[in-house]
């Protein structure tokens, strides 16, 4: 059984410019969380279930983007990318978002890459194997 605690270092080690949202490029190793929220939330949702949460990002009082994180089945909210924000940025309280079937429309390649990297670490002998969730296939 996967836990956030076992998955977090795997997910973090899997981030790079190729998994970053194109709107947040150039990706920088000194802020590895930047641009990883959407794909990270989806991969955690695949493996742990629960809800996807969407908040809005404001900088100096104006909306500049969105931010994704997870609410696990036990009610805990988990945001592996919370450290990405600058001191002038704030994130609003989020709302639960329904996940449509299939792969995401935005950042599909980034999501599929992150998902495959995490799957290789989770079950390296099988290249993902039974614990691997196909892109876009959500667990409970």
Range of the domain at 45: 4-131
Backbone conformation region of residue 129, classed left if phi is above 0, alpha if psi is from -120 to 50, else beta: left
Alpha-carbon gap, residue 74 to 137, rounded angstroms:
20
Q: What is the pLDDT of residues 71-119, one digit of tens each?
A: 999 999 999 999 999 999 999 999 999 998 888 999 999 999 999 999 9
Q: Is residue 139 part of a domain?
A: no
Give 56's strand partners.
66
Residue range 123-127: mean pLDDT, rounded: 68
Domain membership flag for residue 11: yes
Q: Is residue 54 part of a domain?
A: yes
Q: Where are the beta strands (DSSP E) in 9-139?
A: 51-59, 62-71, 77-78, 89-91, 95-97
Which pLDDT score, from 0 to 100, does residue 1 have?
A: 76
Residue 140 domain-assigned (yes or no): no
* Structural tokens at position 21: 């949202």
pTM of the model: 0.87
Is 112 inside a domain boundary? yes
- CB contact at 8 A, 99 and 111: no
Query: 3-state class of 19 per DSSP?
Result: helix
In the chain, DSSP finds a helix count (H) and a strand count (E) of: 3, 5
* 138 found inside a domain: no
The total of structural domains in the chain comes to 1
Q: What is the pLDDT of residues 35-70, one digit of tens each?
A: 999 999 999 999 999 999 999 999 999 999 999 999
């Amino acid at each position: 059984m996967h836990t956030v605690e076992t998955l977090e270092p795997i997910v973090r080690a899997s981030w790079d410019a190729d998994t970053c949202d194109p709107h947040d490029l150039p990706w920088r190793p000194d802020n590895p969380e930047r641009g990883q929220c959407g794909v990270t939330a989806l991969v955690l949702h695949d493996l742990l279930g629960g809800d996807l949460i969407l908040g809005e990002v404001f900088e100096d009082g104006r909306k500049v983007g969105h931010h994704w994180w997870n609410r696990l089945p036990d009610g805990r909210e988990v945001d592996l990318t919370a450290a990405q924000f600058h001191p002038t940025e704030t994130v609003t309280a989020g709302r639960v978002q329904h996940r449509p079937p299939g792969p995401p429309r935005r950042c599909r390649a980034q999501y599929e890459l992150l998902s495959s990297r995490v799957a290789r670490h989770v079950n390296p002998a099988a290249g993902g194997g039974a614990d691997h969730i196909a892109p876009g296939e959500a667990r409970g």
